Every structure is written in C-alpha cells, then in structure tokens.
Amino acid sequence: MNTSSSPKEPRVTWQAVFSVAIFIFMYLPILVLAFYSFNQSPYSGTWQGFTLDWYRQLFHDERIISAVINSLIVALSATGIAAVLGTLMAVGLRRYQFPGKNLYYGISYLPLIVPDIAIAVATLVFLVAFAIPLSLWTIIAAHVVFCLAYVGVVVAARLTNLDPHLEEAALDLGATPTQAFIKVLLPQLMPGIVAGCMLAFILSLDDFLIASFTAGSGYNTLPMEIFSRIRTGVKPDINALSVILILLSAIAALVAELIRASGEKNSRV
C-alpha cells in the first residue's frame, strides 16, 4: 500500500489577491504615465510611436530650468535650516526638562497633521499682517515650518535607540557639554539627520500649495510650473517630467530608509 502523499498545491489566499489589487491600484497610473511619456504624439490620448524627444526638450526649456533652480534653492535652504533647528529641537525635547515642555512638544510636531492649505493660508496672513513682500525667501521660510517637524521626528526616533551613558562617560572624562555633543552624540545622530533631511528635501521639492500661497511674482517652483501647464491639457513633456520626479523621489526615499535602517542596526551592535 502506497502511503506517500502528493505534495500540497499552493493556495492563493484572499490576502495575496488583495495585496496584488492594492499594488495595481497604486502603481498602474504611474505605469500609464511613464508609457505615454514616450508617445510621439503631442496628445496623450493617442499613441503614434516611441520617442525620447520629450525628455530631450526638457533640458532646453528655459521655464522648466528656471523652475527647477528655484525649487532646488528652496528645498536645499529649507532643509539646511531645518537640519540644524530640528536636531537641536529633538535633543532638547528628549534630554531636558523645562516648563511647558509637553505643550511645546505638541506644537512643534503640529505641522505633521495640519493640512497644507491651513499652513499656507496662515503663513500668507502672517506675511501680509507684517507687510513682508513675497519672494523666494518667503517660500523658504514657509517650508522650514514643516521640514523642521519632519527632521525632528526622525532624529527623535534615532535618539530613542542611543545609549545615553556614552555622552555621560565623555563628560566624566573631561569633555565639555559642547564637545560631548559634537564628538559623541552628533556622529550617532547623523544617520537620522541625513534620513530626515532627505525626507524633508523631497517634501519641499514636491510642495505646491504652500509655495503657491507664499511665492512672489516671477518665482515659480517646479510644481507651480507643472500646474500652470496642465490647465491647458496634459502633454507628453509633462508626463516625462513627472516620471523623472517620481524616480528621483523614489531613489531619495529609498536611500533615506537604507541610511535610517543601517543606523538602527549599528546602534544595536
């Protein structure tokens, strides 16, 4: 009598089907966008052949280049300021006690949950009330508000995995508080700072609402330039630009996550 049993056939569970459906729902529009960015036709509705001309035209479009430069200035400036202030804020909230700490803790991370339109309107009202002329610098100031919160959150998460006794040992060995911070704490926080900065940079680069409310005349950022063009119809050059932005954002997010995960792994060793 043969007692050997045939191998069980794998069953497709409803969880697997649901996961595949979610991925299709999320990424199918991006695939369609990428497909039509290579369309030879100037209209996205019909396919007339494969071409790379739309990607080449982007590098000769003065308005796009100007918008890219403005967006990079805003994103780099806001991220740099937020890196310094966000790191100091996270360390101060984690390590020190002071009156009103809980209230300040809640307020400092409020931009993470407040809608962008509310931040944009509030910033514009503030600028008008103090008669501050709108320019590229007002966009930077507005972006620092939410970049600061994102950097602070990532650095605070990094702080929870650090050994506080290392800094205390440096103080016992004769280091000043400033030296202990720069030579002991800051190197350990660097993976979290870099990850938070990359996240803040991408969010600043992609922002449209806050920038459109706080930009002066002639200071278009890249999302504002894209929005002004799609009002007359989505053309393949905008599809090509969107594909490039999606790839850059995905790469930056992946690098930030790898840096954060590597920092957490090293802190456990």
What is the structure's pLDDT at 48?
A: 77
Beta strands in 11-162 (DSSP E): none
Tokens describing residue 174: 């004769």
For the chain, give the mean pLDDT. Answer: 82
State residue 76's pLDDT score: 93
CATH 1.10.3720.10 maps onto the chain at: 61-268
Question: For 61-268, which CATH class?
Answer: mainly alpha
Span 179-203, pLDDT tens digits: 888 888 888 888 888 888 988 998 8
Distance CA 206, CA 225 (A): 12
Q: In whole angstroms, what is the distance from residue 137 CA to residue 69 CA?
A: 14
Cβ partners under 8 Å of residue 129, min gap 6: none
Instruction: Find out whether 120 and 208 touch, Cβ atoms under 8 Å.
Output: no
To 5 degrees, how large is the angle CA 232–CA 236–CA 237? 85
For residue 109, give the 3-state DSSP assignment.
Answer: coil
Residues of the chain with pLDDT under 70: 1-12, 43-45, 260, 263-269
Q: For the chain, what is the radius of gyration of the CA atoms? A: 24
Rounded to whole angstroms, how far apart are CA atoms 41 and 71? Answer: 29
**Three-class SS string for 37-74?**
CCECCCCCCCCCCECCHHHHHHCCCHHHHHHHHHHHHH
How do residues 118-132 score in pLDDT, each as one tens digit?
A: 889 999 999 999 988
Q: Count the helix, strand and coil residues of the chain and give each as a percent rounded to the nearest 5.
A: 75, 0, 25
Give the separation between CA 227 and CA 241, rounded to whole angstroms: 12
